[in-house]
Amino acid sequence: MKIIDLILSANASLLRNKGRTALTIIAIFIGATTLSLTNGIGDGIKAYLTKQVGNLGNSSTLTITATTAKTNFRSSSGLVKYVPGQKKISSQGGGPNDSEQVALTQSDINKIAKVPNITSVQPTLTVAPDYIATVANPYAKYQFILNQTVGISRLDVSSGVNVNNNSSQYQVTLPISYLSSLGYNTSSSALNQEVTIGISNALGAQSTFVATIVGVQQKNLVGSTAAYANTDLFNALYGFQTTGLPTSTIDTYASIQAVFNPNLTTAQINKLKSTLAGLGYTAETIKDQVSTVFTVINAITYVFDGFAGITLVAAAFGIVNTLFMSVQERTKEIGLMKALGMGRRKIFALFSIEAVLIGFWGSILGIIFANFLGKIVNNLATKGFLKDFPGLNLLSFPAKASTIIVVGIMLIAFLAGTLPARRASRKDPIDALRYE
Amino acid sequence: MDAAIATKSLDKVYGKKDDRLVALDNINLSIKAGESIAIVGKSGSGKSTLMHILALLDEPTKGVVTVNGVDVSSLSEKQVDLLRNKSFGFVFQQFFLNGNETVLDNVILPLKIAKVGRRERHKRGLEVLKAVDLAEKANAKALNLSGGQKQRACIARALINNPNVIFADEPTGNLDSTTGGKIEELLFKLNREKKITLIIVTHDPDLAKQCDRQINIKDGHLAERKNS
């Protein structure tokens, strides 16, 4: 028989027992739907996170901290030796993870700048402004957090633009959650408005800086809820904040941002990291920092996939059962085909194709149904509990994943079909054609 | 000239030791091309077993079967399948038609197995249906046919590959005498006009008498008797 005739025959035999076929397909369908949905949630969240990573930092930026030798008083190796000149930022005790952080200084910056492939090095500076208020209503003062934009490639700005680090104008972007307190009803009404930022220095004096709102950041899951300042504004604030401090205190940084050549391959980036590790620094790209989250999401997805897999195994036994019945019922037909010269392998193929077709229809229908459910859930979610997270699709169904599911289920169905198909192929035509 | 089908010292034994059952014992047989042969005998005599072995559906325990002079045991399973498909036609007492399919679809099954294309199948299917006077039923479902029509469809299926030999196992067993008579007429007409070798298993003495030769099987032994 030609392959097309085999497929048509298999299909005809499935249609002959519509009820039984439908029930077997439903079992596969449930498995395929579950698998598609669990994968869809994992993929949806991962796709969103990937998009959001841009909010956290440039992919060619390393966040560098000093590698600290952990002092563990429970270990037998004893205490870690003091290194002359080393400064500490913090030292924490009391919990199970006693830790201390060693400060970085200008000499570290110079050292890192000499590492090949590093194009620029800047300390991560922080400012602690006292309040933010609108110029229009200067007495309504609110606490807030302000970050610099160094190392950040792009913020998810829903209206307006990102701050311009080359502009001499003082610019800020605000998270959407700030707006109502500041008296703005809509994102667009906040654009190009001026805000006053109050800040104190070490001597106890307070000063104010006026900045223009150039953009509004939409709510997201992984980025911070800080406002962002452009370089000139940030430097002005930092300069005022550190007025009166001794130089040695100013020259103390928790971390350093190092920008590297964006053309580096993953292997080269890893080599760069190990070079830095050799110098006593811990270097992480933003991807390293987010990868922990991805690992957790993957793990959860795998667990759910496992459950879906169990339903598929159960469904596979349904296929075995259905095909055994089919072989039993069609004993005479098999005998006749063999008598008329159909080979053993073709009989095997005929029943295998029947199994694969069950898998095919079950998985295709399952994926279509999962897509349909996904649309409804996405719709409800974006109107409901994910209202504040524009751009987040709870479920996503990439074609590649769907294809893998269909092919995988067809393979499972084929394996399930081998037992009945083998039995069919071994039927003796004489036994099959004997009178009863 | 080689015989169409011949056997030499053919034994068929079922079971082992104490359960041994000798179904066929030392059968020597030669069937000429174009001959019509009746294999007769009581039920359980071994006549069906003989036909199955001659039709290459079963293998003998001992002895040789030759088809057109070729020892069948030297052929591969695939070659035997091909031989049955191309050279043999089968007519069964129980018809073995697929009731849910059309008569045409049933008739073209051997061509489907032989990988003949759709258009060719259709054409030849209609031709053989015409030859058995069933052309108007081509698109009817097989289960809606009468007994005689079913057997004619069965003969059409046996004919579609232009076989050298037709094996008919009790072809009139399920039919009344009038319908059975017509089927017999059809089979012998094919034997005469197309020179198709006819091997009929039957316990109907009237049918057996119409054949060139009767092979009487009794307890697995051969007791041949020529028709005059």
Measured at the alpha carbon of residue A276, what is the angle toward residues A279 and A226, in degrees to the nearest 5?
Answer: 120
Percent of chain B surpassing pLDDT 90? 47
Check residue B173 and give its pLDDT: 84
Q: With bands split at pLDDT 50, 70 and 90, how would you rate the model's confidence at B37?
A: very high
Q: Which own/partner contact pairs does B50-55 have at CB distance under 8 Å and 24+ positions apart? A: B50/B10, B50/B24, B50/B215, B50/B217, B51/B167, B51/B169, B51/B199, B51/B201, B52/A430, B53/B7, B53/B10, B53/B12, B53/B24, B54/B5, B54/B7, B54/B29, B54/B167, B54/B199, B55/A339, B55/B84, B55/B88, B55/B90, B55/B167, B55/B199
pLDDT at B76 over 60: yes
A126-136 average pLDDT score: 89
Residue ranges of A 316-375 with Cβ closer than 8 A to chain B: 332-333, 335-344, 346
pLDDT at A276 over 60: yes
A169-195 average pLDDT score: 90
When divided into structural domains, chain A yields a total of 3
Check residue A388 and give its pLDDT: 67
For residues A11 and A148, state if they share a domain: no
| Phi, psi angles (nearest 5°) of residue A256 | -125, 140
B147-170 average pLDDT score: 91
A25, A361 in Cβ contact below 8 A?
A: yes
Check residue A223 and give its pLDDT: 59
Q: What secondary structure does DSSP assign to A68-101, as a single string?
A: PPPP-TTSTT-PPPP-TT--EEEEE-SSSS-EEE
Check residue A69 and give its pLDDT: 57
Residue type, A65: T
pLDDT at A409 over 90: yes
Q: Which of A349-358, B11-20, B200-209 has the lowest mean pLDDT?
A: B11-20
Residue A279 located in a structural domain:
no
For residues A230 and A344, state if they share a domain: no
CATH of the domain spanning B5-226? 3.40.50.300
For residues A103 and A168, state if they share a domain: no
Structure tokens at B204: 């109907």
Q: With bands split at pLDDT 50, 70 and 90, how would you rate the model's confidence at A285?
A: confident
**Contacts of residue A342 in chain B, CB cutoff 8 Å?**
81, 85, 113
Q: What are the residue boundaries of the structural domains of chain B, listed by start?
A: 5-226
Check residue A422 and give its pLDDT: 94
| Residue A193 buriedness (CB in 10 A; 0-12 / 13-18 / 19+) | middle
For residues A219 and A171, state if they share a domain: yes
Please tell me the total number of residues recorded for chain A in this structure.
436
For testing contact with chain B, the best of A340, A344, A345 (most B CBs within 10 A): A340
Distance in Å, alpha carbon of B130 to nearest chain A alpha carbon: 21
Distance in Å, alpha carbon of A334 to nearest chain B alpha carbon: 11
Walk across the sheet containing A256-260 and list its strands: A118-123, A256-260, A61-66, A281-285
Question: Cβ contact (<8 Å) for B115 and A343?
Answer: no
Q: With bands split at pLDDT 50, 70 and 90, how would you rate the model's confidence at B199?
A: very high
Out of B57, B98, B101, name the one closest to residue A429 (CB). B57
Q: Does B93 touch chain A (CB under 8 A)?
A: yes
Check residue B1 and give its pLDDT: 53
Question: Cβ contact (<8 Å) for B96 and A435?
Answer: no
Question: Cβ contact (<8 Å) for A433 and B115?
Answer: no
Residue ranges of A 1-40 with Cβ closer than 8 A to chain B: 1-2, 5, 12, 16
Q: With bands split at pLDDT 50, 70 and 90, how would you rate the model's confidence at A410?
A: very high
- For A323, the domain range is 3-55+292-433
Average pLDDT over chain A reads: 84
Out of B52, B78, B109, name the one closest to residue A343 (CB). B78
For residues A140 and A25, state if they share a domain: no
Check residue A353 and give its pLDDT: 94
Out of A335, A340, A430, name the one closest to residue B113 (CB). A340
Question: Cβ contact (<8 Å) for A332 and B112?
Answer: no
DSSP state of A382: H
Q: Does B114 touch chain A (CB under 8 A)?
A: yes
Check residue A95 and give its pLDDT: 59
Check residue A99 and give its pLDDT: 64
pLDDT at B119 over 90: yes
Question: Cβ contact (<8 Å) for B98 and A433?
Answer: no
For residues A426 and A304, state if they share a domain: yes
pLDDT in tens, A139-154: 889 999 888 876 555 6
Beta bridge partners of B8: B64
Question: Cβ contact (<8 Å) for B113 and A342?
Answer: yes
H/E stretch holding A197: strand A194-200
Structure tokens at A72: 């563990």
A89, A102 in Cβ contact below 8 A?
A: yes
**Helices assigned H by DSSP within A211-285:** 231-241, 247-250, 266-278
pLDDT at A16 over 60: yes
Q: With bands split at pLDDT 50, 70 and 90, how would you rate the model's confidence at A421?
A: very high
Question: Cβ contact (<8 Å) for A1 and B115?
Answer: yes
Question: Cβ contact (<8 Å) for A341 and B77?
Answer: no
Question: Cβ contact (<8 Å) for B82 and A337?
Answer: no
Within 13 Å, how many C-alpha atoms sit on residue A112's CB side?
32
Q: With bands split at pLDDT 50, 70 and 90, how would you rate the model's confidence at A391?
A: low
pLDDT at B103 over 90: yes
Check residue A57 and give its pLDDT: 56
Question: Cβ contact (<8 Å) for B96 and A342?
Answer: no
Q: Which of A268-282, A373-387, B122-136 has the lowest mean pLDDT?
A: A373-387
Distance in Å, alpha carbon of A332 to nearest chain B alpha carbon: 7
Residue among A94, A84, A90 at smallest CA distance from A65: A90
Question: Cβ contact (<8 Å) for A343 and B77?
Answer: yes
For residues A118 and A130, state if they share a domain: no
Check residue B80 and give its pLDDT: 93
**Contacts of residue A15 in chain B, CB cutoff 8 Å?**
none
B95-112 average pLDDT score: 91
pLDDT in tens, A29-88: 999 999 998 888 888 887 777 776 655 555 778 888 887 655 555 556 667 777 777 777
Question: Cβ contact (<8 Å) for B57 and A332?
Answer: no
pLDDT at A397 over 70: yes
Residue among B198, B106, B192 at smallest CA distance from B153: B106
Higher per-residue pLDDT: A382 or A367: A367
Rounded to whole angstroms, the Cα distance separating B72 from A347 reads 23
Residue among A110, A217, A91 at smallest CA distance from A161: A217
Rounded to whole angstroms, the Cα distance separating B74 from B3 reads 17
Distance in Å, alpha carbon of B6 to nearest chain A alpha carbon: 20
For residues A137 and A198, state if they share a domain: yes
Question: Cβ contact (<8 Å) for B90 and A339?
Answer: yes
Residue among B176, B220, B223, B226 at smallest CA distance from B25: B220
Question: Cβ contact (<8 Å) for A340 and B98?
Answer: no
Higher per-residue pLDDT: B44 or A228: A228
Average pLDDT over chain B reads: 89
Rounded to whole angstroms, the Cα distance separating A330 from A393 reads 49
Check residue A406 and give its pLDDT: 94
Rounded to whole angstroms, the Cα distance separating A310 from A38 reads 13
pLDDT in tens, A250-266: 888 888 888 888 888 88
Structure tokens at A167: 């502009």
Structure tokens at B52: 């199955």
Rounded to whole angstroms, the Cα distance separating A112 from A120 reads 9
Distance in Å, alpha carbon of A346 to nearest chain B alpha carbon: 9
H/E stretch holding A296: helix A286-329
Residue of A nearest to B81 (CA): A341
Higher per-residue pLDDT: B10 or A220: B10
Check residue A365 and give its pLDDT: 95
A66, A397 in Cβ contact below 8 A?
A: no
For residues A118 and A133, state if they share a domain: no
Rounded to whole angstroms, the Cα distance separating B199 from A39 reads 64
DSSP state of B164: S
**Contacts of residue A330 in chain B, CB cutoff 8 Å?**
none
Distance in Å, alpha carbon of A430 to nearest chain B alpha carbon: 7
pLDDT at A295 over 90: no
Packed helices A286-329 and A344-383: angle between N→C axes, nearest 10 degrees? 140
Check residue A71 and give its pLDDT: 55
Beta bridge partners of B70: B67
SS3 at position A134: strand
A420, A326 in Cβ contact below 8 A?
A: yes
Strand A118-123 relative to strand A256-260, pairing:
antiparallel
Residue among B4, B50, B3 at smallest CA distance from B23: B50
Helices and strands (H, E) in chain A, number of each type: 12, 13
Q: Radius of gyration over alpha carbons of chain A, in Å?
A: 33
Q: With bands split at pLDDT 50, 70 and 90, how would you rate the model's confidence at A96?
A: low
Residue A152 located in a structural domain:
yes
Residue of B nearest to A432 (CA): B96
**Contacts of residue B114 in chain A, CB cutoff 8 Å?**
341
Distances from the Cα of B6 to the Cα of B53, B65, B212, B222, angstroms: 11, 6, 16, 14
Question: Cβ contact (<8 Å) for A433 and B96?
Answer: yes
**Contacts of residue A343 in chain B, CB cutoff 8 Å?**
77-78, 81
Question: Cβ contact (<8 Å) for B81 and A342?
Answer: yes
For residues A257 and A119, state if they share a domain: yes
For residues A131 and A170, state if they share a domain: yes
Out of A12, A340, A435, name the one closest to residue B84 (CB). A340
First to last CA, chain B: 24
Residue of A nearest to B49 (CA): A430
Percent of chain A surpassing pLDDT 90? 28
Higher per-residue pLDDT: B88 or A119: B88
For residues A137 and A76, state if they share a domain: no
Structure tokens at A347: 């009989």
Higher per-residue pLDDT: B3 or A182: A182
